[in-house]
Chain A
């Protein structure tokens, strides 16, 4: 593509992560998503763009909202959607990840939407199949569609992403959402701060272009966006902090700490929330400031755009 040309195609076969995507490509996805927001608010939400295509939601980790969101996205574009939830304990017994991938591949899906508990598992799977693969979250590596829906929410509320000061707070260590958001926000020109106790900040993360704070009041100062993360208690081995009570005292978002941020600061959370752990209920439910429900809405639009852009790149009928 020549310089100056408008990006109209997604230039990759899969969507495995945000790292490495250019601002043009990210804008392409966000612009396309925008068109679906309106459609999703109409009574007749369905299009038939992807009629005849098959999407398989392959979830090796429990998920309700992401899976449902992809399912709705696929169906609203007219494609067939199949959900497969695979209990990882049964995978361990026999069939490997690669076996599962090969089996599904033989059924000719057009897009596999995959979530897996191990970082890199989705990439590994994508190397073994013929269809397009969307990463719906791999371990603590990336969760690209979450970062995209966050970006869309921010862009609609603030009119831009570039130049905003964004604080990502909480369990950075175990968070794929944080990593994808760091890459996306940096690429789009926002300034990113991370706020967490030292035990939840992975080593070397400052090299990803972020400022690290260990004090919530200091870190939130003048922020435009406050992104809270879910405390991933299921991924925690050993004590990263002494108690939930102590965690909330220092790192839970309440009105007092929030007062440090800009008056019009937007509050976000990828869900599901642990109320009273990382965020106070009254803050989460503050209609004026919280964009949490809007994030869910944007999720469907973003996933429709991703599915459509990847399908545009798929070849037509296979010849035998």
Chain B
């Protein structure tokens, strides 16, 4: 087997708190050994890390692929390249493709295409309901057997209370997690940003911030009733975070994540109708942004996901109300997450844990940590290197980032999947 030694590395393992200089050796596709005292084996190819940080590749638990169905917005390859550029080696993708991942044939298609590409690994979510229509349960058990990691209706909330309670009950049979986009649809209907002064000034119809906590509160009650396992995606409001904090204290099996826009931006990023800042859930007030940071600091929020949502220019170059919601995020996940470290909110390892072992552990994935014998999915980063996010230089087919022009710190130097370098910065 071919061995590679990554020497002169600062080894970081957020899962264990390891932060030491040393060497990591890969053997074929796996991690053979690592540590301060580890030496490069004879005959091994050596790569000098020059003191930069070698750590587990990022696990991004919320990515929208547009393949199959909307390849003009994004493909598996485009997402794979964007992921490796951003240091992401594992993506969990939403089922909102065309056709929907509510059937094992589609799930297997996506998994097979991703394996062939050999870029970042892809694990699909299965749909909770057929066609994401919210009316009939999809074949969750069989989808799980075929490899679905968890279940969600993606960008749609499971709005019907009876359907949600059945989904939670049924998924509990198999020990499966339901991931909910928490937004009461009847309150959100027709809205395009958070309701309040800014929306009123711009003359845009608002979504009351309470639309999030209303769904969170309902679902927590349904978890109590059914004993299901529930995860809230991209929480963004102070009220929802408080409610989840209380539910966790009660010992309920509830977890949640957030996405970089919700701790790095607020609704003022919309400015004069910038459609790249139209997201779902919408950007919130400054007080909500601060509450998200507090939730990350005290562990109420379990993980950070990029919420990667590619949209072509024509979906965004229209009046704000008509524009599609969502922004690309794979290439900026690491850098924007590192703002939490650079701004003094979290330690370096704590910040990195939110995008590595924390999401991996939610789903029991063998990823996101340095462990002998595990796949060598690694990333070499410089957490301090300064650069400016530039939409024009993104590798993703769609370039709709809400962070265009933002100065950030922290950059991927090299990305390794199964022992193979798949990305190297110039």
| Interface positions of A (Cβ within 8 A of B) | 19, 96-98, 116, 118-121, 123-124, 138-142, 176, 179, 202-205, 207-208, 237
Q: Looking across the interface, which residue of chain A has its beta carbon closest to that of B314?
A: A96
Q: Looking across the interface, which residue of chain A has its beta carbon closest to that of B209?
A: A203
* Given A119-B319, A204-B200, 16 extra CB contacts under 8 A: A19-B201, A116-B319, A118-B322, A120-B203, A120-B204, A121-B319, A140-B205, A141-B203, A176-B203, A179-B201, A179-B203, A202-B206, A203-B200, A203-B208, A205-B197, A207-B197
| Interface positions of B (Cβ within 8 A of A) | 189-190, 195-206, 208, 272-273, 314, 317-322
What are the residues of chain B within 8 A of A140 when measuring CB–CB? 203-205
- Contact call A141/B195, Cβ cutoff below 8 A: no
Can you list 11 contacts pairing A with B, beta carbon distance less than 8 Å?
A96-B317, A118-B321, A118-B322, A120-B273, A124-B319, A139-B321, A176-B203, A179-B201, A202-B195, A203-B206, A208-B201
What are the residues of chain A within 8 A of B319 when measuring CB–CB? 97, 116, 118-121, 124, 139
Asked whether A203 and B314 contact (CB < 8 A) given A120-B320, A124-B319, the answer is: no
- Contact call A120/B202, Cβ cutoff below 8 A: yes
What are the residues of chain A within 8 A of B201 when measuring CB–CB? 19, 179, 208
What are the residues of chain A within 8 A of B317 when measuring CB–CB? 96, 98, 124
What are the residues of chain A within 8 A of B204 when measuring CB–CB? 119-120, 139-141
- Contact call A208/B320, Cβ cutoff below 8 A: no
Asked whether A204 and B197 contact (CB < 8 A) given A96-B314, A120-B202, A141-B203, the answer is: yes
What are the residues of chain B within 8 A of A176 when measuring CB–CB? 203
What are the residues of chain A within 8 A of B203 when measuring CB–CB? 119-120, 138-142, 176, 179
Pick from B189, B208, B273, B314: contact of A119, CB under 8 Å: B273
What are the residues of chain B within 8 A of A121 when measuring CB–CB? 319
B276 to chain A, nearest CB (A): 13
- Contact call B202/A141, Cβ cutoff below 8 A: yes
A120 to B203, CA, bound (A): 8
- Contact call A96/B318, Cβ cutoff below 8 A: yes
A118 to B278, CA, bound (A): 15
- Contact call A119/B200, Cβ cutoff below 8 A: no
6 tightest A-B contacts by CB? A141-B203, A204-B197, A118-B319, A120-B273, A119-B203, A121-B319
Pick from B199, B200, B272: contact of A123, CB under 8 Å: B272
What are the residues of chain A within 8 A of B190 when measuring CB–CB? 237
A119 to B197, CA, bound (A): 15
B313 to chain A, nearest CB (A): 9
Pick from A96, A116, A204, A208: contact of B199, CB under 8 Å: A204
What are the residues of chain B within 8 A of A205 when measuring CB–CB? 197, 200
- Contact call B195/A203, Cβ cutoff below 8 A: yes
Q: Looking across the interface, which residue of chain A has its beta carbon closest to that of B198?
A: A204
What are the residues of chain A within 8 A of B208 when measuring CB–CB? 203
Asked whether A97 and B318 contact (CB < 8 A) given A139-B203, A237-B190, the answer is: yes
Name which of B199, B273, B314 has the most chain A CB atoms within 10 A of its CB: B273
